[in-house]
Structure 1
Amino acid sequence: MKNNVITVKDIKISIVNDNNEDYICISDIAKGKSDNSRAADVIRNWLRNRYTLEFLSTWEQLNNPNFKVFESEHFIEQVGLLTFTPSVTEWTERTNAIGLYVKRGKYGGTYAHKDIAFEFASAISPVFKLYLIKEFQRLKAEESKNKDWNAKRLLSKNNYLIHTDAIKNYILPNTDYYKDKSWLKYAEEADILNVILFKTTAKEWRKLNKELAKTSNMRDYATINELTVLSNLESHNAELIKEGKTKEERFNILSSIASYQLNVLNKASEIKKIES
């Protein structure tokens, strides 16, 4: 689960992403109510409402094949009774609902799927709901903006696993870790690619960029095109290692590949800029 916190009208609201679905803490949203009502009481009173229960039931039927419709109807039938004070836990356990749940510990509280959370916000304040939606959209836009970069970084990391696995399987078995320090080829192999793409080793870069090196590394400053080529080089290098190519042979081959691919990608980027 990934946690985020947004601020709406000076109220911090937690958001949890579970299986690519966003759940918003309605316990936090309840703090937006003008009076000093306890969040638990606000949620309980909201859950007593017929419209709320019908909305929740319909949402579950659309999104949850395991929802117990008959049990939800039992809740709706009790609306208006003074003794009817349902809790979120009671609702979820008896109906097998997935749109609401209670979370313990850090970021604890009652969470609702974003569709339901926005509906709950309407009951608190239509104006507060608008601010909530706006801030939520800002968060999603920020995540989307970083998506391309993160995807390339992930691609690079995944291919690095292929790369290092090839080194482990095809070079290290012939090495005595104590007599022969060639196991350091893990780092050296990475630096072959660093020199090809960035014209320096990681160690040299850290020495020249001491402040930046405290919180980042050389590859964090690579362009999307460089990261794309890097991921390709790692896969190529793994294959060349399997073929038994020497380090010098691999360096020459990979240099040619990198030069060609970067040239193609950079030209394509320039054409795209002109066309746009």
Structure 2
Amino acid sequence: MTKTRSLSVQGTPVTFITRHEQDYISLTDMVKRFGDESVPYGWLRNRNTVEFLGVWERINNPAFKPLEFERFKSQAGLNSFSLSPSKWVEATGAIGLYAKAGRGGGTYAHRDIAFEFGSWLSPEFKLYLITEFQRLKDEEARAASVEWNFQRTLAKVNYRIHTDAIKEHLVPRQLTKAQNGHHLRQ
């Protein structure tokens, strides 16, 4: 299941999703500030980009196909070379890029790759993207912490209510205090 969220980077709304418990950021949204949707294709033609994607996949994807990667790497940078995210994923078994068709679709990249793409677009944009992303993650962590503390407090109160009810209704009144403690421990 994917969970979609959004953040604002220098006034540009950028969507990100959680897929397989990892954050993927929309490259399509990131380029709106810099041109049209063809910008990622120019980035993918770059030899350094293909090398970066290959290294990332080797580290993070045991099913990555290195022979296909080597073919792309040898052609990258040539005028005749073109590469789309879906072609990369299909040929190499990559998991770092994700192309989603239809409404709300676009090209998504794992946050590590998206930050690298942001650097290629503009170092300033990359820094703002990282800052906003981290701010949002910190907010989520604080919200989760508050939820955890609430659950902990609720459990503590319920424990007290249950033990008091047991003492009042289930434990015979004629037992001594020491015997009551023994009954509750069983």
> Is the TM-score greater than 0.5?
yes
Aligned equivalent of 1:28: 29
Verify the 8 A CA contact 1:14 1:107 in the aligned structure 2. Answer: no
Aligned equivalent of 2:45: 48
Aligned equivalent of 1:253: 166
Over 3 Å counting, the alpha-carbon distance change for 1:254 and 1:96 in structure 2 is farther
Cα deviation code 1:143-199 (max 9, x no counterpart) = 0001123346xxxxxxxxxxxxxxxxxxxxxxxxxxxxxxxxxxxxxxxxxxxxxxx
Q: 1:120 Cα shift? A: 0.1
- Unpaired runs of 5+ residues, structure 1, are 153-222, 237-249, 257-276
Over the aligned positions, Cα root-mean-square deviation in angstroms equals: 2.4
Verify the 8 A CA contact 1:32 1:124 in the aligned structure 2. Answer: no
Verify the 8 A CA contact 1:32 1:128 in the aligned structure 2. Answer: no
Q: Which amino acid aligns with 2:41?
A: R
Give, in whole Å, the separation in 2 of the partners of 1:30 and 1:89.
18
State which of 134, 152, 156 in structure 2 corresponds to 1:229. Answer: 156
Aligned equivalent of 2:118: 121
Q: Which has the higher helix share?
A: 1
Instruction: State the TM-score, normalized to the length of structure 1.
Output: 0.56
Verify the 8 A CA contact 2:50 2:76 in the aligned structure 1. Answer: no
Cα deviation code 1:68-100 (max 9, x no counterpart) = 011011011112332211110000000000000
State which of 29, 35, 38 in structure 1 corresponds to 2:36. Answer: 38
Give, in whole Å, the separation in 2 of the partners of 1:151 and 1:64.
33
State which of 65, 68, 89 in structure 2 corresponds to 1:68. Answer: 65
Q: 1:43 Cα shift? A: 0.4
Q: Percent sequence identity over matched residues?
A: 44
Give, in whole Å, the separation in 2 of the partners of 1:83 and 1:114.
29
Q: Which has the higher strand share?
A: 2
Higher Cα Rg, which structure? 1
Over 3 Å counting, the alpha-carbon distance change for 1:253 and 1:68 in structure 2 is same
Verify the 8 A CA contact 1:103 1:110 in the aligned structure 2. Answer: yes
